[in-house]
Amino acid sequence: MNKSLFIGLMSGTSADGIDAALVRLNNGHKIELIDFLTYPSQLKPQLTKLNLDTKISLTELAELQVKIAQEFSQAALTLIKQNGYETANINAIGSHGQTIFHAPELGMSMQIGHPAIIAKQTNIATVADFRVDDMALGGQGAPLAPCFHQALFDKHHKPICVVNIGGIANISYINTDNDVIGFDTGPGNALMDEVCQQAFKLEYDQNGDLAAQGQVNHTLLNALLSDPYFEQPTPKSTGRDKFNQAWLLKHLPRNIEPNDLLATLNQLTVESIGAELMKLDLPSQTACLICGGGAYNRTLLNRLQSKLPNLNIQSTEQLGLNPNAIEAMMCAWLAKQRLDHIEIDLTKITGASRPAVLGGLWHP
């Protein structure tokens, strides 16, 4: 039987849960999201700690490999059960894993949550470790999303930009010839989320309401924007091992009010994304589709629209696409490309020397 159902599993730099997407992928170009859920993780404190201190014992690393894989497995099984399917109905799982260290300068990016455990616990073939093939060819290994955005928005009017605002933000630009480039712009939601959790005991700033109540501290904003990453030419990628609390604390003035800090970090995301979009010199009214958790931050989107009045800033939700599901959908799509031995061309995105089949395959 030719099975067209795939599951994508993703836990991003915010480490706030495991996104699981059930996707139908036909041999044509249609990519259909059937269902999506976010499975709560019990491991966020340990993973957040790793953003501040990458030193970890081999015992802790091994424990996390197993525990994260078990949570990923449960996310997939929960999604299958709630849709009335059996594991035999699923062609493959694509698992991104949890990134704990991203070092393109070393040619390595580490994701944990071992796919062998996922394959055996779900009894479904699992594709994972997508970044290392690209990095072995001199690429940054990230972002992977632009090639998926190219496929997902194949029929959309071009040119088009897709901005994923997760813990870290990245841009995909697809021109009129359907060529794609992409890169990480810097902080997305993660720094704001941590302020909310510490100062307000909230998981995140719903709608950006708390940021809207504060005043931007321009001295702090300019200090943060002076980081060399923002002027670094492409290809470029980054992660929470770079933009984390330790990075923020180096610049933080004394006694800044939490609302003002949130307002400033919100503007940091706006300025770093906006500056890169301005460099693209896009035609007036080019669609700029926002996905990831940042798509729900109305303050952020309104500020971005004010900074870029000639662009049409909109959430993918306006196209009927769940903003939170897109990266998990990407993992399902990457699994199919791996099973079909299709090379992914990231040469203009990551700087890899040539296209490559991405990921390894673990059998049940």
Based on the domain organization, do 83 and 28 belong to the same domain?
yes
Domain match, 126 and 152 both: no
Q: Which residue has the tokens 């700087």?
A: 351
Q: 85 and 18 share a domain?
A: yes
Together in a domain, 173 and 293: yes
How many independent structural domains does the chain possess?
Answer: 2
Rounded to whole angstroms, how far apart are CA atoms 81 and 79? 6
For residue 2, pLDDT over 60 is answered with no
Total length of the chain: 364
Q: Check whether residue 91 and residue 184 sit in a common domain.
A: no
Sheet holding 312-315, edge to edge: 180-187, 168-174, 160-165, 287-291, 312-315
Please list, in sequence order, all residues whose beta carbon lies within 8 angstroms of the beta carbon of residue 166, skipping any fewer than 6 positions away.
12, 13, 14, 188, 189, 190, 292, 293, 294, 327
> Is the pLDDT score of 240 beyond 70?
yes
Residues 272, 348, single domain; the answer is: no
User: For 107-135, what is the mean pLDDT?
Assistant: 97
Task: Assess whether pLDDT exceeds 80 at residue 140.
Answer: yes
Domain around 341: 5-140+325-362
Reported pTM:
0.94
What is the per-residue pLDDT across 347-357, written as a single tens digit (0 to 9) for each? 999 999 999 99
User: Domain check: are 42 and 136 in the same one?
Assistant: yes
Query: Are 195 and 132 in a shared domain?
Result: no
**225 shares a domain with 118:** no
152 and 256 inside one domain: yes
What's the CATH number where 48 sits? Answer: 3.30.420.40
Mean pLDDT value of segment 290-315: 97
